[in-house]
Amino acid sequence: MNDINNNFFNNETCSMIENIKKKFPEDRKKSSIIESLLILQKNNNGYLTKDIITSLAKYLKVEEIDVYEVATFYSMFNTKPVGINTISVCTNVSCMLRNADNILNHIENKLGIKVGETTKDQKFFLKDEIECLAACNGAPMMQVNHKNYENLTIEKVDKILEEFE
Amino acid sequence: MEIFINNKSYTAEDGETIIQIADKFDIHIPRFCYHKHLSIVANCRMCLVDIEGFKFAQPACSTLVQDGMKISTQSAKTKNAQKSTMEFLLINHPLDCPICDQGGECELQDVSLEYGDDHSNYMQFKRVVVDRDVSPLISTDMTRCIHCSRCVRFGEEVAATKELGLLDRGENMKIDSFIEKNIDSELSGNMIDLCPVGALNNKPYRYSARTWDLSQKKGISPHDCIGSNIFYHIYNNKIVRAVPAENENINQTWLSDRDRFGYEGIYAEDRCKRPMIKKNEKLLTCDWDTAIKTLNQNLNTLKNEKKLDSLGCLISPQSTCEELYLFQKVFREFGANNIDHRTIEKDFDYQQDYPVMPTLGCDIKDLEAYDNVILVGVNIKKEFPILSVRMIQAQNKKTQFFSINFQSSNEDFNPAISLALRNDQLREFLDYLSNKTNKPNYIEEKMFHYIFKYIKSNKKNLIVIGPSIGQLPNQTEILYSLNQYSKKINADFGYLTEHCNNTASWLLGVLPHRLPLGKRVDKEGLNAYQMIEKKLSNYIFYNLEPECDFWNNDLVEDALKTSKMNVFFSSFMTPFIAKYADIVLPISTFAETHGSFINIEGSYQAYKQIIRPKKEIKLGWEVLNNLLFINGANNYTFDTLQNEIKNNIQDFDVTTNNNFKLSNQPLKYIQKDIFKFTLRNTYNTDQIVRRSKSLQQTRTGKLKNILLSNDLFSSHKKGYLEFIDKDKNIKSELYNSDQSLPHNTIAYQSYKIGDAFVGARTGTVKIKS
Ligand code: SF4
Ligand code: FES
Ligand code: FES
């Protein structure tokens, strides 16, 4: 188990990953990548590093590129440092028809960042590539730290964001 | 079952796909992602065909045939689908064909011409991908990539070393390697062939020719004993690149990087260009006539004075069958007995009992029929990369591999057990497997448990002995123990040899104790090691690099220093040759002559001259023939020579070859001090590869450090390494620890340490503390 960076793999993380591995057949090692990455990302302020990816690849005995593919494909993984709170504004059809673009513009202006960026004070990360988050009935909607906030208005958004200030 | 393609009926089997049937009957369906040796992903959509009863066109590569299916590759629906797909694929393609090397052999170009439309509706910006320099062998222009994922699947499925992956998604999707990682595998060049566009191209070949100006000649790999089939592409009598020639029995559609880029060595600066003769201590050019006559005179003098015992005749097993056969014939005709090709060996006690020739013990394609394959003294990935592909296939079919080597092997397949043992331990270990007495305590109990559980005599077992065993000072002991063990587990017994034509060298009698076809010699000559060690007064070296092709290059230098006549038939002017040669005869490399090799299965494969040599360089076989002729023998033409060889070997039955028994070998060898050995690095194995510039720039090509086992490394506190090898003092700062070595072991990765040669390939050393 050389090359595995123990900062990321403490006993607790290891046992969690071991539990994930148990869910899949032995010759399907790659199946554990997604869930393991989620745990590791959570322990590392919400983003992944080269070191984490390499360590997980060694730990699961898969290739680094296998893990990297997963990490770059899914929007729930960040491969660059991000702010503490993640905001995802849905701009897909239903939300768009209910003026999601205005909401997004407002947030961008308020925080002084564009989609995909993090505020200088590291408090907010405005995520990009957000598609339908399955809450069309409450459109327009957004998630902050994976919690849904629906039927948004500009005032509502201001209030919600204040809670995280 | 019966299916219809374009209204004609064809028979098909259950489980076949439409594209397979179409390919079988030469009905063309355009495709990008499909490749017969890769898994099916159906992501390019180029192969869409119209099937009766389906609303939409279906991908031919992934749709299974059904009885009575009616397919059309011509209908409007098919054509429409093809056109639309093509338009989509070209949205982001840069269309930079005039500056793209793939132009003229580009699948995208061809398909676009044949099935695409003449205009595009797309007016927006195109995607651009920034390229990284990932390999000295492969150039990347990823903006051209159409995301067929063949290269990714090749890594995943065929080479079992995934180096490229599909990163990001949607429009940002790109093919790349892991952060800051390069493409280093030994089979990487195949991705160049697989890539249907110009995204992955041959870097050394880049911008050197246009494909339509090339001619193509077939050759056989001169770099290993597998005998991969190769097409050489020639521009103006110069090889500019090599690609695989398909041979399902040997290399399928693949080629190792060594076979693909090795030819560059032919164009090395140190080629011998003129015959030379030493006069007044100076090596001067002369004409061929003078060179041959002088050699002939010297040989006849030796003959007349009955001094042929003082002549050593050595030839490299990288030579063609014709050269090997004529070589032993010429010098035997003079009366010489000291004839050998085994220049990298030391211990020859095995030679009387040895089979007529070394073979793999089975056909390459049959490897997957074995339950267990035990690899001894070989790292397949590094030494026989093309075999890796077969072994991965075999492993997928449940063959188990066991690897025992001096360095635990890092393979592309996954050996069930991979042991690293010193040469003294190897014998103990093997004897324990056979007799179960004197259990070695350095091996974990569960390893033995596993071995005894799976390797049983009622299973189909194969033992393969690698070329590193030949370098051992106690190779006979090891061969004996392996032979014993093979009888015990009822295993087939095979070899992988140092060079491409060792098998022919044995079969054609390039040996001190045997004539062609294993017939006994009346008066046995000296073996290769004795010839060097005994410091004879006359030497003939054929195709050999005295610095690197011998068991101990120090001894070679000693011998050359003291001898009276050193004759080199050589393609390259090495420093030793320049210093010690009396006669130099510049001869062709494999590519400049007609020739043939016998591969490790025993398959005889001939090829025709690929390029013409420079004016003053002669074909090796012609020079030998000339020597015979001026002494009154019949003049051979290449055809009569080749026929004589073919007639000789055609009756030889390969299958009986490997059933042999080595006579008992008492344990003589005792290991003291530190075990040292020289690794057979992929790009260091023969004189042509050593001169291939591109290969030497790869990561493997650059490996030079001395490797120390962990225990030696951790007890060594100085900033440099100083040790005594025989009576030589070696000092080096370039060393590192290697956990895959057994205790008390040093490994060289090159024949040189700084400017000094390493001396014996295997043996012992003492570290100065
Ligand atoms: S680089 Fe070539 S082989 Fe690889 S996905 Fe792109 S087009 Fe296909
Ligand atoms: S479109 Fe916004 S939640 Fe569905
Ligand atoms: S070849 Fe069938 S989808 Fe690519």
Q: Does A63 touch chain B (CB under 8 A)?
A: yes
Ligand 1 center from residue B145 Cα (angstroms): 5
Burial of B756 (0-12, 13-18, 19+ CB in 10 A): middle
Task: Please tell me which residue, A6 or B67, carries the higher pLDDT value.
Answer: B67
CA distance B463 to B471: 18
Does B364-495 carry CATH code 3.30.1330.60? no
Contact B181 A64 (CB under 8 A): yes
CA distance B313 to B322: 16
| pLDDT of A62 strictly over 50 | yes
**Contact map slice: A 23-62 vs B, CB within 8 A:** 50, 53
Cβ atoms of B102 and B121 closer than 8 Å? no
| Mean pLDDT along residues B410-422 | 92
The closest CB to that of B168, out of A65, A66, A72, belongs to A72
Could you tell me which of B15, B20, B14 has the C-alpha nearest to residue B5? B20
Which residues of chain B neighbour A64 with C-beta distances below 8 Å? 178, 181
Tokens of A157: 């958004």
Q: What is the mean pLDDT of chain B?
A: 92
| pLDDT of B225 strictly over 50 | yes
CA distance B126 to B551: 59
Q: Of ligand 2's atoms, which has the minimum distance to the CA of residue A94?
A: 1
| pLDDT of B411 strictly over 60 | yes
Q: Which of A4-13, B229-238, B737-746 has the highest mean pLDDT?
A: B229-238
At the second CATH level, the architecture of B674-767 is Beta Barrel (2.40)
Span B536-551, pLDDT tens digits = 999 999 999 999 999 9
Question: Could you state, in order of their start, the residue ranges of all structural domains in chain B?
Answer: 2-90, 276-349+507-653, 364-495, 674-767
Q: Does B164 touch chain A (CB under 8 A)?
A: yes
pLDDT at B656: 65
* Ligand nearest the Cα atom of residue B146: 1
In CATH terms, are B364-495 and B674-767 the same topology?
no
Q: Does B182 touch chain A (CB under 8 A)?
A: no
Q: At what angle do helices A154-164 and A100-111 cross, to 10 degrees?
A: 40
Which residues of chain B neighbour A69 with C-beta distances below 8 Å? 165-167
Contact B168 A63 (CB under 8 A): no
Span B468-522, pLDDT tens digits = 999 998 899 899 999 999 999 999 989 999 999 999 999 999 999 999 998 999 9
pLDDT at B437: 82
Cβ atoms of B321 and B504 closer than 8 Å? yes
CA distance B345 to B353: 16
Does B2-90 carry CATH code 3.10.20.740? yes
* Ligand nearest the Cα atom of residue A98: 2
Entry pTM: 0.92
pLDDT at B673: 84
| pLDDT of A158 strictly over 80 | yes
* Ligand nearest the Cα atom of residue B102: 1
The closest CB to that of A69, out of B167, B181, B739, belongs to B167
Span B42-72, pLDDT tens digits = 999 999 999 999 999 999 999 999 999 999 9
CA distance B378 to B410: 11
CA distance B333 to B300: 11
pLDDT at B760: 87
DSSP per-residue codes, B302-348: HHHTT-GGGEEEEE-TTS-HHHHHHHHHHHHHHT---EE--TT----
* Strand runs labelled E in B658-708: 674-678, 706-708
Confidence of residue B657 (pLDDT cuts 50, 70, 90): low
Q: In chain B, what percentage of residues exceed pLDDT 70?
A: 98
Does B276-349+507-653 carry CATH code 3.40.50.740? yes
Span B634-656, pLDDT tens digits = 899 999 999 999 998 887 776 66
pLDDT at B117: 86
B297's CB contacts (< 8 A; 6+ apart) are none
Span B25-40, pLDDT tens digits = 999 999 999 999 999 9
| pLDDT of A2 strictly over 80 | no
Task: Looking at the complex, report in whole angstroms how far the Cα of residue A50 sits from the nearest Cα belonging to chain B.
Answer: 7
Which region among B121-125, B720-724, B746-750 has the lowest average model confidence (pLDDT)? B720-724
Span B140-174, pLDDT tens digits = 999 999 999 999 999 999 999 999 999 998 888 99
Helix (H, G, I), strand (E, B) or coil at A135: coil
Tokens of A22: 């148990």
Q: Is the CB of B34 under 6 A from ligand 3?
A: yes
* Strand runs labelled E in A100-140: 124-126
Q: Does B167 touch chain A (CB under 8 A)?
A: yes
Q: For a substitution probing ligand 1, which of B107, B140, B147 has the most ligand atoms within 8 Å of its CB?
A: B147
| pLDDT of B666 strictly over 80 | no
Which residues of chain B neighbour A73 with C-beta distances below 8 Å? 166-169
| Mean pLDDT along residues B560-572 | 96
Task: Looking at the complex, report in whole angstroms how far the Cα of residue A65 sits from the nearest Cα belonging to chain B.
Answer: 5
Q: Of ligand 1's atoms, which has the minimum distance to the CA of residue B197?
A: 7
* Ligand nearest the Cα atom of residue B107: 1
Give the residue from chain A lying closest to B412, CA to CA. A63
Which residues of chain B neighbour A72 with C-beta distances below 8 Å? 167-169
Ligand 2 center from residue A151 Cα (angstroms): 11
Confidence of residue B667 (pLDDT cuts 50, 70, 90): low
Q: Is the CB of B421 under 6 A from ligand 1?
A: no
Q: Of ligand 1's atoms, which has the minimum distance to the CA of residue B140?
A: 1
Q: What is the mean pLDDT of chain A?
A: 91
Nearest CA to ligand 1 atom 3: B195
Helix (H, G, I), strand (E, B) or coil at B119: coil
Which region among B421-425, B523-527, B560-564 has the lowest average model confidence (pLDDT)? B421-425
The closest CB to that of A65, out of B163, B169, B170, belongs to B163
Ligand 2 center from residue A164 Cα (angstroms): 23
Helix (H, G, I), strand (E, B) or coil at B486: helix
pLDDT at A1: 44
Scan for tokens 């190769």, then name that residue: B230
Task: Please tell me which residue, B409 or B362, carries the higher pLDDT value.
Answer: B362
| pLDDT of A77 strictly over 70 | yes
CB atoms within 10 A of CB B630: 12
Confidence of residue B297 (pLDDT cuts 50, 70, 90): very high
Q: Does B396 touch chain A (CB under 8 A)?
A: no
Say what the ipTM of the complex is.
Answer: 0.86
| pLDDT of B663 strictly over 90 | no
Contact B165 A66 (CB under 8 A): yes
Interface test with B, best of A3, A53, A63, A129 (most B CBs within 10 A): A63
CA distance B727 to B724: 6
Q: For residue B70, how far is the Cα from the chain centroid?
A: 46
